[in-house]
Amino acid sequence: MRRVLVLAAFALVTGFDQPPPQRVFVSDETGNRVVVFDPVTKKVVASIDAGRRPRGIRLSPDGKSLYVAVSGSAIGGPGVDESKLPPADHAADGIAVIDTATLKVLRVLRAGTDPETFDVSPDGKTLFVSNEDASTVSAVDVAGKLHSRSGKVGDQPEGVAVTRDGRRVFVACEGADQVVMLDAATLKQRGAVTIAGRTRGLLASADGKFIYVTVEFGGKLGVLDAADGHLIRVVDLARGDDKLRPMGMAEAPDGKTLFVTTGRGGAVLEVDPSKGEIVRRIDGVGARLWGIARSGGSLVTANGPSGEISVIDRATGKVAARYKVGVGPWGVAAR
């Protein structure tokens, strides 16, 4: 007993075995930085040079590593004449690996050309990365010991989601209005569903049953069966409001609710996907909402044009505050 008390006292004094501090990590696409925000002190505590044009951002399952997609391709998008953009610098492409304790870039993994978004396998060993310009998905070994593999998908792959059993990978191909299902081991296509309106973001439900897809121009949410990829239902989120462009998603801890950003619509929608109902609409969140993540009892959104993040109280559905974090926030990850 005495030994236990001594060890407990040592832990209190030294901070040994204490949980890591809360952090919100924001990829700043146009600022070429990853910004680290402390939600307790409400201050930016670090700014990391992870590479050019950081976009997709994810934490490893154990929270010890932060992965960020960086790209040497110029910013394009709908309505942009890509023939007039400068040539891509593929030497700048990759997935930056950041140690969340030291906030240092450990290495940059090769991940095909123009990596944009990705998901992490449940065992934390593999990243599945969308390569928009090549219409492929790359499987990347996190340890950097194995060569990456790639599989062909539809035009302009964007969102990626791995099933909770790690056996299937879903890819939203915005140029093809499709969600493609691949075998995770071989990257061979096993099925595809079409949803008109520019399929964009993907999220695997925590219970392993569903894959959710946002449909940007269609103003919709698709619900797919994670086991075989068939389309269960399509939920109309826009309800006639053509400003709402569904983009990023976060799932509530109980798995019953989704929080969906709406781009230029400036709102976050709280959705019950099982009933196909909008539970609550939170307006006035910010400018061009894209990424979203849970942080404690709050939601945090990346608001590109304003250089801000918004913090929403989940219980009240009110915007608690906005904070300047960079030039063009794109994605958010939080622990």
- Supply the pTM of this predicted model: 0.92
Mean local confidence (pLDDT), 268-281: 97
The CB-side HSE value for 119 (13 A sphere, CA atoms) comes to 25
Q: Is-contact 331 50, C-beta < 8 A?
A: no
Pairing label, strands 277-282, 289-295: unpaired
Residue 19 scores a pLDDT above 80: no
2-18 pLDDT per residue, tens: 544 444 444 444 445 56
Q: What percent of the chain has pLDDT over 90?
A: 86
Nearest to 88 by CA among 117, 119, 57, 112: 112
Q: Place 199 in a pLDDT band, splitting at 50, 70 and 90.
A: very high
Sheet of 126-131: strands edge to edge? 115-120, 126-131, 136-141, 149-152
Q: What is the pLDDT of residue 18?
A: 65
DSSP letter at 110?
A: -
Q: Average pLDDT, whole number, for the chain?
A: 93
203-244 pLDDT per residue, tens: 999 999 999 999 999 999 999 999 999 999 999 999 999 999
**Residue 170 to residue 244: CA distance in whole angstroms:** 24
What are φ and ψ of residue 11, in 5° steps? Answer: -65, -40
149-185 pLDDT per residue, tens: 999 999 999 999 999 999 999 999 999 999 999 999 9
Judge residue 313's burial from the number of C-beta atoms within 10 Å of its C-beta, 0-12 exposed, 13-18 middle, 19 or more buried: middle
Chain CA centroid to CA 249, Å: 8
Query: Which of the two residues, 110 and 15, has the higher pLDDT score?
Result: 110
**Residue 160 to residue 182: CA distance in whole angstroms:** 11
In the chain, where are the structural domains located? Answer: 33-334
Name the CATH superfamily housing domain 33-334. Answer: YVTN repeat-like/Quinoprotein amine dehydrogenase (2.130.10.10)
Q: What is the pLDDT of residue 69?
A: 98
Nearest to 216 by CA among 201, 194, 233, 234: 201
Residue 322 scores a pLDDT above 80: yes
Pairing label, strands 308-313, 318-324: antiparallel
45-96 pLDDT per residue, tens: 999 999 999 999 999 999 999 999 999 888 776 566 666 677 888 899 999 9
DSSP characters for 248-299?
-EEE-TTSS-EEEE-BTT--EEEEETTTTEEEEEE----SSEEEEEEETTEE
Q: Is-contact 251 203, C-beta < 8 A?
A: yes
Six-digit token string for 64: 């010890």
Query: Which of the two residues, 125 and 17, has the higher pLDDT score?
Result: 125
